């Protein structure tokens, strides 16, 4: 039976979600990839144990994680909880989401209706054998459902005790501001937006969503901070067969051009100068200015988690380093 290390809280950095009382580790573990019914369970369990032993208390899931069998990531996480991690439930922040296609018919397709959100969370709780999740997100903006309905559904979920806090994901600044207004009127415990963000995907800066989060006092939990693995050492010398691109598991494989490879190698040289790996540099950069609460990393093996957690111990950059990075990114 798993027993967590006593030293798990000695080094991890924790950030408050905006003005809320909830703190999250600077690095969180996302279960989007490598936690499906077809993946190795022992490896999944080792990754979760390694993460928690390093002070990662936040585990991020969604109803549709576990392709090709929706929900299998939550089912596997339940097994991991049952084999020792559930003992530490009050030390964990478990989040899940709903919004994308989940089950057949009009009530389980991509939407943000009260019917779908509440039904989906009930299913997620059954799969994980939990009374509540810590954060429940609407996974993606639905133009066919009013924001009022989505906000009221999330509010009801929080006030029913099935989620302690609520969040939204893949919402731009404009739609976020509309939801924030509704949440304020309802007194909903809204604490997080979950957008994509990385050195190679800086839309939240252009959109000013990061500034708005600081202004309004909610957190940002960003996904794909390593840009589907581009910002690691995996592709510096080509495409490995066992990589996401090599397996055809990413929609951005056409972006791995010679120009991109040159850019990645320049960034890798900067990382070496800081005593970091490329992935550590990329994560430190995302966390550099305090606007991001936590970075959601994925992993295929425990060693990747160990490596990436090191990023939180070197989040400061000199102006010279930041300038070199900007030059490399524009190359």
Mind listing the pLDDT tens digit of every residue in the chain (331 residues)? 899 999 999 999 999 999 999 999 999 999 999 999 999 999 999 999 999 999 999 999 999 999 889 999 999 999 999 999 999 999 999 999 999 999 999 999 999 999 999 999 999 999 999 999 999 999 999 999 999 999 999 999 999 999 999 999 999 999 999 999 999 999 999 999 999 999 999 999 999 999 999 999 999 999 999 998 999 998 887 666 655 555 555 666 778 888 999 999 999 999 999 999 999 999 999 999 999 999 999 999 999 999 999 999 999 999 999 999 999 999 7
DSSP state of 107: T
C-alpha distances in angstroms, 18 versus 84, 97, 211? 32, 20, 12
- The DSSP element (H or E) to which 262 belongs, if any, is helix 258-273
| Residue 68, pLDDT score | 86
Number of H helices, E strands in the chain: 12, 10
| Residue 137, pLDDT score | 98
Residue the block writes with tokens 């609460």: 293
Domains of the chain plus CATH, in order, are: 14-236+289-313 (3.20.20.100)
Tokens in use for 246? Answer: 């090599």
Residue the block writes with tokens 């397996």: 247
């Amino acid at each position: 039976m798993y027993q967590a290390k006593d030293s798990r809280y000695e080094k991890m950095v924790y950030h408050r979600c905006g003005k809320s009382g909830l703190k999250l580790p600077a690095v969180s573990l996302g279960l989007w990839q490598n936690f499906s019914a077809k993946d190795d369970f022992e490896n999944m369990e080792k990754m979760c144990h390694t993460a928690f032993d390093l002070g990662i208390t936040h585990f991020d899931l969604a109803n549709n994680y576990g392709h090709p069998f929706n929900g299998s990531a939550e089912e596997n996480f339940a097994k991991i909880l049952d084999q020792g991690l559930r003992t530490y439930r009050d030390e964990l922040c478990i989040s899940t989401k709903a919004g994308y296609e989940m089950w057949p018919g009009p009530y389980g397709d991509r939407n943000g209706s009260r019917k779908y959100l509440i039904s989906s969370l009930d299913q997620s709780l059954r799969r994980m054998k939990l009374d509540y999740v810590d954060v429940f997100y609407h996974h993606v903006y639905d133009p066919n459902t009013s924001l009022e309905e989505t906000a009221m559904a999330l509010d009801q979920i929080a006030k029913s005790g099935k989620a302690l806090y609520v969040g939204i994901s893949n919402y731009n600044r404009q739609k976020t501001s509309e939801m924030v207004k509704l949440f304020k009127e309802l007194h909903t415990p809204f604490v997080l937006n979950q957008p994509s963000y990385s050195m190679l995907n800086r839309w939240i800066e252009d959109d000013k969503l990061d500034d708005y989060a600081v202004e309004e006092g909610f957190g940002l939990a960003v996904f794909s901070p390593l840009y589907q693995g581009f910002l690691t050492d995996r592709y510096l010398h080509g495409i490995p067969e066992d990589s996401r691109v090599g397996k055809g598991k990413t929609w951005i494989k056409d972006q791995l051009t010679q120009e991109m490879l040159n850019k990645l190698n320049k960034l890798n040289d900067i990382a070496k100068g800081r005593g970091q790996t490329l992935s550590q540099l990329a994560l430190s950069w995302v966390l550099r200015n305090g606007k991001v609460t936590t970075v959601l990393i994925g992993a295929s093996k425990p060693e990747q988690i160990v490596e990436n957690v090191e990023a939180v111990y070197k989040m400061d950059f000199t102006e010279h380093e930041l300038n070199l990075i900007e030059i490399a990114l524009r190359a």
